[in-house]
Amino acid sequence: MKKKILITRKLLRSNEERASKLFDVKLNLNDEVYSQKKLVELSQGCDGILSSLTDKIDEKVINSLPASIKIISNFAVGFGNIDQEVARKRNIAVTNTPDVLTDATAEIAMLLILGACRRANEGIDYAKKENWKWSADFLIGKQLTGSRLGILGMGRIGRALAKIAKSFGMEIHYRNRSKLSPEMEDGATFHESIKSLFSVSDVLSICCPATKETKDIINKETLEYFPSGAIITNVARGDMIEDEAMVQALTNRKIYAIGLDVYKGEPKIHPGYLNQPSAFVLPHLGSATKKTRTNMADLAITNIDEFFKTGKSKNIIN
Ligand code: DGY
């Protein structure tokens, strides 16, 4: 008999077709973002859940799920939306979708760097209003060539970004839980502390997972470590930035510009960013290409299939 799977958000058609062949699926045809209560209700009678980053599957939700749920397969590489510890205690496997979104996300990381350094937000505004005049000093930004890029979190996405940024002539520095092998470092300089990394970061790209340790890692105190006029970008999760302190740093020009693809409380954003011309903000587009989204959903489906066939999946994270 086919396993019954709740798919919490609408997937691309080819992915829903494949899931329907493998499982008895409960699809979300209107792509409603389910409340926690509704998610628990809909999971009744199911063996697994294919979740998205918009589902907050915390302790309360996990403890309310029916005992039949054996796997939560998250349609994302990040899994901060799921309390993996509590899931483990309940014997529920949690999986994610690494690798397949690395390049797409690194592209957006580079776009954030370019957009923030070259004042894209202001430029787009002027272009749309048709009220600009070319001049020698019009919208002068910061050039990347020869500048130092600090990468916080040198996992797959961080390393893919390093490769792209090197082709722009940037010098790569990084902080990671552990120092990488020389092959993986590929010429980048490891820093033992965030203080050391931030102090050489003309531009910072946040590429690390959201954990208790990284929550609000950019805050009033750590912002002081940066060179004056640094640029900060975030392609990982909003949790890493203490917004009030960040907005203050942009206002007093300690930080020259910010590039954000992710922020706390999406789709809401701290209002302080909205009236900052130097904030280049995107709506969580990191993995948003057809190829990548198809591959991510495909992997999320495969993770479930493999789990029920073998009792294992190489992408279990808890
Ligand atoms: C992820 O996979 O974590 C991305 O943020 C989804 O776009």
- Return the residue whose CA atom lies nearest to atom 4 of ligand 1: 76
Catalytic residue check, 237: yes
pLDDT-derived band at 138, boundaries 50, 70, 90: very high
Q: What is the pLDDT of residue 221?
A: 98
> How many angstroms is it from 52 CA to the middle of ligand 1?
9
Quickly count: other Cβ atoms within 10 Å of residue 181's Cβ: 8
pLDDT-derived band at 92, boundaries 50, 70, 90: very high
Percent of the chain with pLDDT over 90: 100
Q: Region 52-59: what's the mean pLDDT?
A: 97
Q: What is the pLDDT of residues 176-194, one digit of tens each?
A: 999 999 999 999 999 999 9
Catalytic residue check, 221: no
pLDDT-derived band at 266, boundaries 50, 70, 90: very high
Q: CB-hemisphere CA count at 13 Å for 126?
A: 12
- Of 287, 290, 292, 315, which is best to mutate to test ligand 1, by the most ligand atoms within 8 angstroms of its C-beta? 287
Q: Region 49-67: what's the mean pLDDT?
A: 98
Q: What is the pLDDT of residue 167?
A: 98
Q: Region 265-269: what's the mean pLDDT?
A: 96
Catalytic residue check, 284: yes
Q: What is the pLDDT of residue 219?
A: 98
Q: What is the pLDDT of residue 124?
A: 97
pLDDT-derived band at 133, boundaries 50, 70, 90: very high
Q: What is the mean pLDDT of the chain?
A: 97
> How many angstroms is it from 286 CA to the middle of ligand 1?
6
Contact predicate 72/92, CB 8 Å: yes
Q: What is the pLDDT of residue 194?
A: 98
Identified catalytic residue from 122, 171, 185, 266: 266
Percent of the chain with pLDDT over 70: 100
Q: What is the pLDDT of residue 50?
A: 98
Q: What is the pLDDT of residue 137?
A: 97
Q: What is the pLDDT of residue 43?
A: 98
pLDDT-derived band at 120, boundaries 50, 70, 90: very high
Identify the structural domains of the chain with CATH numbers, from first to last.
4-100+290-310 (3.40.50.720), 102-281 (3.40.50.720)
What does pTM read for this prediction? 0.95
Q: Region 93-98: what's the mean pLDDT?
A: 97
